[in-house]
Structure 1
Amino acid sequence: MSKFLKIFVRKLKEKLQHDAQANTQQAEALSGNLGQDINNIIALTGNSSDITNRIFQGANGLPMAIVYVNGLTDTVVINDNIMKPIMSDAEVNTAGQRKSSDYFTDIKDKILTVSATSTVSKMDELISALFNGDTVIIAEGWEQGISASSAKWMQRGVEEPSSQSVIRGPKDGFTEDISTNVALLRRRIKSPNLWKIDRKIGLVTQTDVSVMYLKGTANDLVVNEVLQRLDRIEIDGILESGYLEEFIQDQTFTPFPTIINTERPDSVAGSILDGQVAVLVDGTPFVLVLPITFFKFFVASEDYYQRFDISTFLRILRFFAFTVSMLLPSLYIAITTFHQEMIPTTLLVSLAAQREGIPFPAFFEALMMEITFEILREAGVRMPRAIGSAISIVGALVLGQAAVEAGLVSAAMVIVVAFTAISNFVVPAFNISIAARLLRFILMVLAAALGLFGIMSGLFFLLIHMLSLRSFGIPYLTPLAPFVPNNLKDTVVRVPWWMMVTRPRLFAKNNYVRQNVNRRPNPSDKDKMK
């Protein structure tokens, strides 16, 4: 045992020494020796074949080199805007006519014809610039390098969001490129108050993360809290916004999400105008919006693009569907098992006839059907899109019909489970519908054990838990608890736009008013024009 322990300790020491040596090598400054600097770059990148360097002569025969990553850069920019200007200058000028520092400044500020240049003085800065798609210029005797913008890589174009269907409204969606996503928001909010704060998170991936908010409208305390939570993250890589969501959310052990994500730029722009904060992550089309309340998960972007009465009806329908998806199976189990007196006599006789010969109790029957449907739904998602939906639909029909004919489940149970599953798809936000799916099984267990008393006890504790939740300091059940009458105009119901004079008070701390007062359409104005 001690032998294995000694080997483990020795391997651990070797690894720590190797990591310390690599970190020291990355943090050291450029030496000014062209050959040594190129060798350090090759060593740090593991002699990777896509790291390309070319040595050439500048003015007065000064040894120079460009380094770039093949596949992340635009070779046309490198040839026409970097190499060609430097070599053309070398043909007509000599370094002896100016100091080396002047030559460095001239190349950086006068000779290069790229959109942006910067100075790198340390090896880690140089490596970071390379993997951002920039071309780095180094030379003999220079203890600094020039980073010239030349990034270009294949990316998906702006398309309609795949996870959120659009009925009425803009059909563009976020992409995996963070600069494109920022431009989509800038296009909608043309204001200098739309501020953007950048961070790089991930020791290995160095993922670009941007926090965007409306200065003067958003709560500065919330913005600072978001930035502090992002700065506390220490992880090797961030590949999707879901990584950040788990790091910065207020509470982990809860089925309810306290941060919402969306692919729709119009939805994010509307949230920013309300005083909320958006967190964009490079490499994913899903943008985080915070802080958030429970009622925001039932709001769709189309609610603001059509009449208020239609939007109000659809919102009430969503809340009803969410309640059905969470409670219907447990209510069926409780009533058929413990409270048959609540069922009308005709319906009770029909249910008793259906359940005659069923070998399982109602709880096991519902549990079996719910698990079967969850498996079918997951299979439909993971299978190829062309056959996934067909397999899930056909599988549900065939299994349901076969289970009823085999006498394993009753026809009423199939109807309950099917209506529950359909109701679950009505909610616009996918992550809140998952919460209903998880809570459904807990309430089913309570209904099988204690009947309606168990369901009410579970809902009571669930309400207490929701009252304790916060999203960056904002109570989760606002504006009902605490009760904020001013914010009720855009929760379960949506009043006409001319009545929504102010923004939500808990999101916007400085600029409450969004429009002029008393702008109600007045038919008398039309009469006056005659």
Structure 2
Amino acid sequence: MKLTEKVLTSDLAESEAILKDILHNSSDVVFRKLQTDGQTLLFVYVDGLCDTNLVEQIILKPFLYKGFPGDSNEDSHFTQVVQRLMLPVLKVSSVTIAGKVVEGILTGHVALLAEGESEAMLADFQHYQERSVEEPSSEVVVRGPRDGFTESIRVNTSLIRRRLCTPQLVNKSFQVGEKSSTKVEIIYLHEVANESIVEEVIRRINQIKIDGILESGYIEKKIEDTPYSPFPQIQNTERPDVVCSALLEGKVAIVTANTPFVLIVPMTFWTGLQASEDYYERAVFTTLVRWVRYFMLMIALLLPSIYVALTTFHPQIIPTVLLISIAAAREGVPFPAVVEALMMEFMFEALREAGVRLPKTVGSAVSIVGALVIGQSAVEAGIISAPMVIIVATTGIASFGIPRYNLGNAFRILRFPMLLLAGFIGVYGILVGITVILIHLTCLSSFGVPYLTPVTPEIAGFDKSLIHRAPRWNLRRRPKKTTGNNDNLT
């Protein structure tokens, strides 16, 4: 029999030895014995996971100053008497399996054992250092709520409950990770979410076999449909309003302990191009911003490739005056346009990564100064042409216009193979690359929902939020693919 499967005995010393063996005598686990009215009591908890002040006030002081609660002639067991009289806490349970006792201790509970009793009582005194609710730094909006998720799973679920005060909001809990036992919860609206999607999410989470879950990204990689695709199939967000909006559309949220990022499934391509602020501003302004966003998306993916293809293979397409200007700027540059573009793209990505990893006080300064100094020096040295610096800078600025960071990463990756195709076979290479990307997007799905829904497969009447943002009063139905009841008004 495994040590964790052993049953506690009425011998307090033996039970203590079993718990110490399972916990390997860890220095942060407190074993405290008390003698009161001839009764020997043992308190076990982890220092730092429990509210020690509350433990002293509710448990230790009453036993020290008042003695054993109740008449010693009573037939009631010790655990029953203590649970009734001495522990005014929310969650108290009795456990006899040593492994269950240790599991409770490691999750912030206090275990109480008594001489002559073969069961332990677990009292919930969880207390963790928590970050206060702040505005998310990765999803800043001009208009909208300023609160964001934290590393506490209970704070995160409460932020969702505050916005959706309905008994239809269902919360199901899981323990994932052999060593970490990380708490994971899925949240959805009953009779709104598609039951087949909910069941698929539960099935995939139950199939996860891993030692530890340190961030929701671990779960994302384990449950997504096509892990080798550059395009994300699971949305992540730090904003409660984004999660609630997705739940109202029939989607499922996955909340993970110890991370402020909540996952939303299923995800479509168009979701990655929408910001929460789109539905807080006026429809006309949002429509204009959405068109600009689509244009920036095309620039981020294709602008360097088009420049390389035209200057290398199809200069006759460029207006004469502009062609003369480009040729004059490229005079003396020793590299072909494709090599020049690749060098600048790699340098830009290196500066962007350095700006992210460096401390905030110097990160932005280093990235900006580095770009200015390196770009100007390269142009003056004749290694890089000035038009190429403009092209790469414009591409980088356009890539920042994609609202979802993980979708922007996909286009950052695809920019390089598109450059190579343009450098080898010109515009035909660009057309081949676009065709391959479209075929890949058409074949992708997220939890059974096609990635390009509702464009392909086409769903009549559900393109209002793609080309333009319709007024709120005109958005009357939920998406058919994600909901079990799309007849309700949203």
TM-score range, shorter chain: over 0.9
CA contact (8 A) 1:32 1:141 kept: yes
1:94 equivalent among 67, 71, 90: 71
Contact 1:505 1:512 (C-alpha < 8 Å) held by counterparts: no
By how many angstroms is 1:211 displaced? 0.3
Measured against aligned partners, the alpha-carbon deviations of 1:334-364 in whole angstroms (never above 9, x if no partner) come to: 1110011110000011111111111000000
Change (3 A) 1:488 1:232: same
Q: CA deviation at 1:110?
A: 3.9
CA displacement at 1:87 relative to structure 2: 5.3
With 28-37 and 396-405 compared, the bigger mean Cα shift is at: 28-37
Deviations 1:58-95 (A, max 9, x none): 5x523221111111111121112223445566456333
Q: Deviation per CA, 1:36-65, whole angstroms, max 9, x where unpaired?
A: 22122222222111100111135x523221
Residue 420 of structure 2 corresponds to residue 445 of structure 1:
yes
Alignment of 1:22-37 (within 5 A): 24-37=2-15
Corresponding position of 1:348: 323
Q: Which residue of 24, 35, 59 maps to 1:82?
A: 59
One-letter code aligned to 2:149: F
Distance 1:145 1:487 in 2: 58
TM-score by length of 1: 0.90
1:407 pairs, out of 382, 386, 391, with: 382
Deviations 1:443-471 (A, max 9, x none): 00110111111110111111111111110
Which residue number in structure 1 is paired with residue 154 of structure 2? 179
Q: Partners in 1 of 2:248 and 2:406 — Cα distance?
A: 23
* Contact 1:82-1:114 within 8 A present in 2 as well: no
Whether the 8 Å CA contact 1:330–1:447 is kept in 2: the answer is yes
State the partner residue of 2:289.
314
Instruction: Please list, as runs of the form range in 1=range in 2, the aligned pairs for 1:118-517 lying within 5 A after superposition.
Output: 118-514=93-489
- 1:3 aligns with none
Unaligned 5+ runs, structure 2: none
What SS does the corresponding residue of 1:407 show, helix, strand or coil? coil
Alignment of 1:45-60 (within 5 A): 45-57=23-35
| Counterpart AA for 2:437 | L
State the secondary structure of the residue aligned to 1:138: strand
Change (3 A) 1:132 1:492: farther
- Alignment check: 8 A CA contact 2:479 2:486 kept: no
TM-score by length of 2: 0.97
Distance 1:196 1:86 in 2: 38
Given that 2:148 and 2:239 are in contact with CA atoms closer than 8 Å, whether structure 1 keeps it comes out as yes
In 2, Cα distance between the equivalents of 1:179 and 1:52?
26
Larger displacement relative to structure 2 (488-497 or 155-164): 488-497
The answer to which of 466-475 and 309-318 deviates more is 309-318
1:245-296 Cα deviation digits (max 9, x unpaired)? 0000011111100001000011111111111100000000000001010000
What is the deviation of 1:144? 1.8
SS at match of 1:196: strand
Aligned length: 490
- Per the TM alignment, residue 397 of structure 1 is displaced from its structure 2 partner at its CA by 0.6
Q: Distance in 2 between matches of 1:227 and 1:27?
A: 27
Structure 1 vs Structure 2 CA RMSD? 1.4
1:213 shift after superposition: 0.5
Q: Assess if the C-alpha contact under 8 Å between 1:86 and 1:107 holds in 2.
A: no
Tell me the alpha carbon deviations over residues 359-399 of structure 1, each in whole angstroms, 9 at most, x when there is no partner. Answer: 00000000000000111110110000011001101100111
Q: Is the 8 A contact 1:161 1:173 kept in 2?
A: yes
Report the AA paired with residue 489 of structure 1.
K
Match runs of 1:58-69 below 5 Å: 61-69=38-46
- Assess if the C-alpha contact under 8 Å between 1:233 and 1:247 holds in 2: yes
The residue type equivalent to 2:280 in the other structure is Y
Please say if residues 215 and 258 of structure 2, whose CA atoms lie closer than 8 Å, have aligned partners that are also in contact.
yes
- 8 Å CA contact 2:310, 2:427 repeated in 1: yes
The SS at the match of 2:461 is helix
Q: CA deviation at 1:106?
A: 2.7
Moved more, 306-315 or 104-113: 104-113
**Is contact 2:69–2:82 with CA below 8 Å preserved after alignment?**
no
Using the alignment, how far apart are the partners of 2:94 and 2:291 within structure 1? Answer: 57
Q: 2:49 aligns with which of 57, 65, 72?
A: 72
Please give the secondary structure, in 2, of the residue aligned with 1:321: helix
Check whether the contact 1:161–1:263 (CA below 8 A) recurs between aligned residues: yes
Residue segments in structure 1 that go unaligned for 5+ positions in a row: 1-20, 516-530
**2:19 aligned to 41, 49, 52, which one?**
41
SS in 1 for 2:465: coil
Percent of aligned pairs sharing the same letter: 43
* Shift in CA distance, 249/92, structure 1 to aligned 2, threshold 3 Å: closer
Q: Specify the alignment match of 1:16 in structure 2.
A: none
Contact 2:329 2:385 in 1 (8 A): yes
**CA–CA distance in structure 2, aligned partners of residues 512 and 25 of structure 1:** 55
Q: Which one-letter code corresponds to 1:79 in the other structure?
A: E
Question: What is the SS of the residue equivalent to 2:187?
Answer: strand
1:25 to 1:451, Cα distance in 2 relative to 1, 3 A: same
Ranges of 4+ aligned residues in structure 1 off by more than 6 Å: none
What SS does the aligned partner of 1:208 have? strand
**Worse-matched range after superposition: 480-489 or 282-291:** 480-489
Deviations 1:89-142 (A, max 9, x none): 645633332243xx3223224431112112222222111111211111112232
Distance 2:260 2:56 in 1: 32
8 Å contact from structure 2 (residues 70, 81) kept in 1: no
User: Mean Cα displacement is larger for which, 304-313 or 27-36?
Assistant: 27-36
Bigger share in helix: 1
8 Å contact kept, 2:10–2:116: yes
- Tell me the SS of whatever aligns to 1:198: strand
